[in-house]
Structure 1
Amino acid sequence: MHHFHYRDGTLHAEAVPLTTIAEAVGTPCYVYSSATLTRHVRAFADAFADLDARICFAMKANGNKAVLRLVTGLGAGVDVVSGGELALALAAGAPADRIVFSGVGKTEAELGAALQAGVHQINVESEPELEALDAVAQHLGVRAPVAIRVNPDVDAATHAKITTGKAENKFGIEWTSARAVFRRARTMDGIALKGVALHIGSQILDLAPFEAAFLRVRDLVALLRADGVAVERLDLGGGLGVPYHAGDETPPPPTAYAEVVRRTVGDLGCALTIEPGRAIAGNAGVLLSRVIYLKEGITRAFAIVDAAMNDLMRPALYDAWHDIRPVRAPSAGTETRLLDVVGPVCESGDTFARDRTLPPLVAGDLVAFMTAGAYGAVMANQYNGRPLVPEVLVDGDRFHVVRRRPSLDDLAALEDLPPWLLREWPCPRR
């Protein structure tokens, strides 16, 4: 469920017309719904209410400080995957003892920052990382709270670029090596071994891969306890999908996901961590854009919009589908046509949709790319000299720009000329 609906013929974010935001902020821009974010956090919290479970929002899905402030204010923690995300989460007011630090390539500086901040848990993904963390923790005179991430070799049946739990993926410690690594960790002076972590992928629409992975973890817990290794916590990761393509994708609700958790590992006496990201933020946001031109080709017709692949990378990166809705609802009985919806970036890959059935569009029309609240703004870049787009948070009938659009002067200010180019301008001929 989300809170983007037509009222009086205009698409609204909660009670705010998207036309009002476009006039005030310009396009393209991201628009997030507080009501949708709130509903999704509470849906997960309610689904796990009878278990000793904490919900940690996967910040890689949407790292905006206002979004983090909202979800942590509802009681959620945060899952971070870099020192930068850790710093931003703390700046947003996330309590350090509700932060989990995941990620396959943490540096010693990042590990030190996490320990000094006092995070709840560090998910270790390799033996070299375990050794590095032990050394950093001993240097700081602390013991690092650790869950060791295992790779259960389970196919999540999702896109190859976002599956993380198969043996050939870079994440976690191989299943067959896990027991030895746990035994080694137990002997380290700088490591406070807490439990097991896993994550098998993203945009998962079937509960069967979760069940297979959780049953493997259950078996591992039994083996570890037989080895004398205490297992207090299970970090089950995230990965529950969202419906990008209405009718073709029907992900299970959090209640069904929680039932799998309850049935497989709920009786192990472990504190649980769940790390949804996309499922909380995905359809809580849209990318608002304006049509620049309609281009009629010999074989195809193109709607060229002012958003581009640098603003929303998912279609170019994953061939991902986003519903595209005109902000002004077409009249009943309006004929549709097939359009390619493309951006202005100088790449053929800058294509949002091919042969999409849409009502007739004209230059100046506003369109909304739906379900863009996750892996949208966080993956954006400034290719072709295009500034990052603003982000707007809506709450009922009010809205606020929670990240402004950088100016072209801001872009130029990030770079500096070496002194010899300043002295030798114009450049001498060679």
Structure 2
Amino acid sequence: MKNHNFKFKNNLLFVENISVPSIIEKLGTPLYIYSKKAILEAWDSYYQAIKNRNCLVCYGMKANSNLAVLKEFSKLGSGFDIVSGGELERVLAIKADPKKVVFSGVGKQSWEIEKAIKAGIKCFNVESEAELHNISRIAKHFGLVAPISLRVNPDVDANTHPYISTGLKENKFGISINTAFDCYQVASKLPNIDIVGIDCHIGSQLTEIKPFIDSLEKIILLINKINTYGIQIKHIDIGGGIGIQYKEESCISPKELIDKVFDKLEDNNLEHLQVILEPGRSLIGNAGILVTKVQYLKESEDRNFAIVDAAMNDLIRPALYHSYHEIVTVVERNVAKKEYDVVGPICESSDWLAKNRLLNELQEGELLAIESIGAYCMTMASNYNTRGRAAEIMVDKSDYYIIKRRETIDDLLRLESTIS
């Protein structure tokens, strides 16, 4: 198991102090199960790196935006990186401090901008000059001042999957490093705009430090250039992106990265700047499992299929990114190994969770645990094939709490109507 809070005792998989079979007996499958202790430990890895430093962690809630998860991070002192008005509403729903919220995303709508300005967020990470003008217009209309930073695209290869790379010039994100200075000049002349920072996020699931430092060096040159123009910023936001171990990846520790960032800033006399981080996956990714049941076993001429009750609507990452997630049987049995394609019931050939996976020889009705599903799984879930989304629970020592109930068919039909 990728996290020690999920481990086997007497041949049964436990989450903290509760056996998975005992949970499934009451709640059924598919089921997302999170460990509160795993979340706290992931947070502590950041806290130990930032304590006594001018640094703010803003959890990237697009990774997992369940209110219970957000509340835990808020209690720990986290801010939040949001990318929509809906995510802002989640921050406000848990009564978190909007002054610790940064708002990213290339397509902020006017109502979202208005809501964020009125809420008093820390900063907009502006991704285009057109957006900058819109923020200025809205702030002026309401007689308010909008704090902004520019999200700069440094054209640095993050060496990750192309779908989650965000720092190359062909990506839609940010303002080109080559035109960012001009955009800062424009911002400095706009009414109701307060330039407070600079932002750079180059991608997700990064497993080496070099891309971070390469982009930081470019950003530092830009900071020095805008300083000569008289623009004094207060913070540098280096984004998120630290990867987790899905298989056998070597991962960066938060301390390793943060030490390098502060060293680089001190070398350039920029240690007065607050550093903002936007981790998501590295705080929640390995804090959860998805439990599913084997419905049928099917042998073809070419391969063995284990057809389970979870599907691509519950876990789209394998179909979307060809991502690897470790899979284990919830009950350990001393049986031979066998190779399976683990697939769901959705009518798509892309509905697979694992291919050519060597597992204990399976039985119908057997429970499987899919690892590392805390990030970008439930938040990307859908109702395709009119399937209700699974329930989510959080385990805390010997107790568990239902933090999102299972959707029913009635839930799915409630918003629809016929025309006669």
User: Which residue of structure 2 aligns with residue 424 of structure 1?
Assistant: none
Matched, 1:183 2:185: yes
For residue 23 of structure 1, give the secondary structure of its aligned residue in structure 2: helix
How far apart are 1:263 and its partner, in Å? 2.1
Measure how far apart 1:265 and its partner are: 2.3
Q: Deviations over 1:83-121 (max 9, x none)?
A: 011101211222111111111100111000001111111
Partner of 1:261: 261
Alignment partner, residue 374 of structure 1: 375
User: Hey, what does 1:320 align to over in structure 2?
Assistant: 323
SS of 1:213 mapped into structure 2: helix
Query: Displacement, 1:17?
Result: 0.9
| CA displacement 1:257-288 (0-9 Å, x = unmatched) | 11221222255111111000000010001111
TM-score (norm 1): 0.95
CA deviations over 1:399-427 (Å, ceiling 9, x no partner): 01100111111111110112xx2xxxxxx
Aligned to 2:179, the other structure's residue is in SS state helix
Q: Which amino acid aligns with 1:72?
A: S
Shift of residue 201 of structure 1? 0.2
Q: Which residues of 2 match residues 18-417 of structure 1 at below 5 A?
A: 18-245=20-247, 247=248, 249-266=249-266, 267-268=269-270, 269-331=272-334, 334-417=335-418
8 Å CA contact retained: 1:19, 1:327: yes
Between the aligned residues of both structures, percent identity stands at 40
AA aligned opposite 2:418: L
One-letter amino acid of the structure 2 residue matched with residue 93 of structure 1: K
| Whole-angstrom CA distance in 2 between matches of 1:188 and 1:201 | 30
Separation of aligned partners in 2, 1:362 and 1:107: 50
| Amino acid across the alignment from 2:73 | V
Write the distance in 2 (CA, Å) between the matches of 1:324 and 1:352.
9
Distance 2:122 2:190 in 1: 19
The one-letter code sitting in structure 2 at the alignment partner of 1:300 is: R
Distance of 1:44 and 1:103 partners within structure 2? 24
Deviation at residue 339 of structure 1 after TM alignment: 0.7
Deviation of 1:2 (Å): 4.2
Residues in 1 aligned to 2:92 and 2:396: alpha-carbon distance in whole angstroms: 23
Following the alignment from structure 1 to structure 2, what is the Cα–Cα distance between the partners of residues 121 and 300? Answer: 53
Amino acid at match of 1:344: P
Give the Å deviation of 1:301: 0.5
Rounded to whole Å, the distance in 1 between the matches of 2:237 and 2:181 is 17
The aligned counterpart of 1:427 is: none
CA distance in 2, matches of 1:201, 1:117: 28
Give the conservation status (yes or no) of the 8 Å contact 1:149–1:198. yes
Task: State the AA in 1 paired with 2:95.
Answer: G
**Helix, strand or coil at the partner of 1:176:** coil
For normalisation by structure 2, the TM-score amounts to: 0.97
For the residues of structure 1 that align with 2:396 and 2:257, how far apart are their CA atoms? 29
CA contact (8 A) 1:294 1:303 kept: yes
Tell me, which stretches of 5 or more residues in structure 1 are unaligned?
Answer: 422-430
Read off the aligned partner of 1:372 and give its amino acid letter.
I
Secondary structure of 1:356's partner? strand
Counterpart secondary structure, 2:410: helix
Q: Secondary structure at the match of 2:264?
A: helix
Superposition RMSD in Å: 1.0
Instruction: State the distance in 2 between where 1:337 and 1:298 align.
Output: 15
Give the counterpart letter for 2:363 in structure 1.
V
Unaligned runs of 5+ in 2: none
Aligned to 1:428: none
CA separation in 1, counterparts of 2:177 and 2:114? 28
The 1-side partners of 2:215 and 2:123 are apart by: 21
